[in-house]
A and B are shown apart, each in its own frame.
Chain A
Amino acid sequence: MIFHPAVIALLAASAINALVLLAGSLFAVHLLRHWDLASGHERQIRLERQTYLVATAIALVLAIQFVALLLFVYNAERMSVLFTGAMCATGTLNVNAYGFPTLILKIAGFFLAVVWLALNQADNLARDYPLIRRKYALLIVIAPVFLAEAVVQALYFLNLSPNVITSCCGSLFSDTGAGVAADLAALPARPALIGFYAVLLATLLAGLRLWRQGRGGRLFGLLSGVQFATAVAAIVAFISLYVYEHPHHHCPFCLLKADFDYIGYALYVPLFAATGYGLAAGILHPHLRIGSLAGVLPPLVRRHAGWAVASLAAFGVLASWLILASNLKLIAP
């Protein structure tokens, strides 16, 4: 266990989020049982008012999740001095089996909160709150992710003991290692590049179609999720190499350092925005035909799609520029 302000802050943040989601789920059960919009009963009015509290609390969870995600990576970077052989965040996360699962759960929690808030925003547009039951059912479904994150993160920090020999990004993501991360790093450059651009282009086209014609929202939502995964894989497999101009440095975190002009932020912010908006458009699209939403939802979905496309394009342009402007050549011209 490392007793450290950043660790305390991260544990506290996850505990708060988990508690909010737990309380929200309890409320959701209550709401699913008693919701009756037609009633002017005081209980119904109380329920309606409590939905404001829950929605605000989830918005707060999203904000906390965002800050905590940043801090988690910063902290992993900073703690790498404590572990022999760890030279950056990757090494720290790899000290025990809970590091990367914590990161993945944090990212999942972030996007789930985005999706829930998108649903909430749409629901609030219609006078009969047509999505309220689905929305609160979803809340119950996503709560375990936050609980799991809090537990896994606690296990991660409790099981950190300095001086364990760990792999740093050089060895974890080096092409001779084993595991998913190493598999990503070992991807041959040309097919990986083609795969990345194929998914990026498909997502962009699906997004454009949704934006211009208002069709294909589900496909776009799905592609947005897939695109996030392939983009992260691409960053590990080759984009990072182009940035570091080093053929074996496959680290997705070092991009955030001053040594590389904080280029990681310019890369990750549009990527996260594109994925968030894409998933939001995807989750909303099936509800387009609900009577009371028919007038208000399509413009909202198309706006989400527009933002997603713009962010994705920004990400694609920056990634391509990094590849083209690099002095490193992975593929013979």
Chain B
Amino acid sequence: MIELSAVTKTFNAGRPNEYPALRGVDLTIESGRVTALRGPSGSGKTTLLTLIGCLARPSSGRVRLEGEDISALPERFLAELRLRRFGFVFQRFNLIPGLSALDNILLPAYPLGLPYHDLRARADALMASLEIDHRAATRVDWLSGGEVQRVAIARALVNDPPVIIADEPTAHLDSRLSLEFLGLLGRLKDAGKTIVIASHDPLVFETGLPDRVADLRDGRIVGVAP
């Protein structure tokens, strides 16, 4: 469970270009469910996602992860939380070009320093379940769109995190790929993962994947349903 209370985030504080991205957000993300953040660009949904995913600290307010206050945690420990608790799927998936699919999948596991044998077994199992094991040694630059999104999901899952964060995952996909991606997220939901997704793609909401939808506008939550 992730609880945010009275959270604000201001960029360039104290300077002429000061910009309040979030202005007092209260939100609870329940475990094992899919929460979607919806709103036009500039509404603050991505900023909110960075606070939920421990990518940044709030300017004020509290963020609690499983009851523990993490709003003042130094970056060193936020990184460790990201590593163990969160898997990330970015817009355009952000794989590292030039590396093989396998190497990309293993990236989040490196800082943990686990024996390579274990890492490799875990990655192999993931790739097999996502049906990309035959592409393990291929450079990601040569993969098809469908394979890229599977590699991105495998990378998010390699440390077996309880929470998956997805930022506008379908923004650059055609409908077929989008539906395939949402299908994969559905499988993760069934496997008990908590999923937080930021999107303004109607397709995401039409599939009925999100259990809860929070609507954002101008840095505030204007409605949560149900």
A residues with CB within 8 A of B: 37-42, 45, 48-49, 124, 127, 129
- Chain B residues, CB < 8 A from A124: 76
- Chain B residues, CB < 8 A from A45: 57, 75
The minimal Cβ–Cβ distance linking B57 to chain A, given in whole angstroms, is: 4
- Chain A residues, CB < 8 A from B57: 40, 45
Decide if B59 touches A40 in the complex (CB within 8 Å): yes
- Chain B residues, CB < 8 A from A37: 72, 74
The minimal Cβ–Cβ distance linking A40 to chain B, given in whole angstroms, is: 4
B31 within 8 A of A: no
* A-contacting residues, B56-87, CB 8 Å: 57-60, 71-77
**Mostly helix, strand, loop or mixed at chain B's interface?**
loop
In the complex, residue of chain B having the shortest beta-carbon distance to the beta carbon of A51: B74
Decide if A48 touches B58 in the complex (CB within 8 Å): no
The minimal Cβ–Cβ distance linking B70 to chain A, given in whole angstroms, is: 9
Given contacts A40-B57, A40-B58, A40-B59, contact A49 B75 (CB under 8 A): yes
B99 within 8 A of A: no
**Residue in A38, A40, A124, A127 whose Cβ sees the most chain B Cβ within 10 Å:** A40
- Chain B residues, CB < 8 A from A40: 57-60, 71-72
The minimal Cβ–Cβ distance linking A176 to chain B, given in whole angstroms, is: 59
CA distance A45 to B74 in the complex (A): 8
The minimal Cβ–Cβ distance linking A207 to chain B, given in whole angstroms, is: 28
Given A41-B13, A41-B59, 5 additional A-B pairs, CB 8 A: A38-B72, A40-B59, A42-B12, A42-B13, A129-B74
- Chain A residues, CB < 8 A from B77: 127
- Chain B residues, CB < 8 A from A48: 74-75
CA distance A321 to B76 in the complex (A): 47
- Chain B residues, CB < 8 A from A42: 12-13
**Residue in B58, B59, B72, B75 whose Cβ sees the most chain A Cβ within 10 Å:** B72
Decide if A127 touches B60 in the complex (CB within 8 Å): no
| 22 A-B pairs whose Cβ atoms sit less than 8 Å apart in the complex | A37-B72, A37-B74, A38-B72, A39-B72, A40-B57, A40-B58, A40-B71, A40-B72, A41-B13, A41-B59, A42-B12, A42-B13, A45-B57, A45-B75, A48-B74, A48-B75, A49-B75, A124-B76, A127-B73, A127-B74, A127-B77, A129-B74
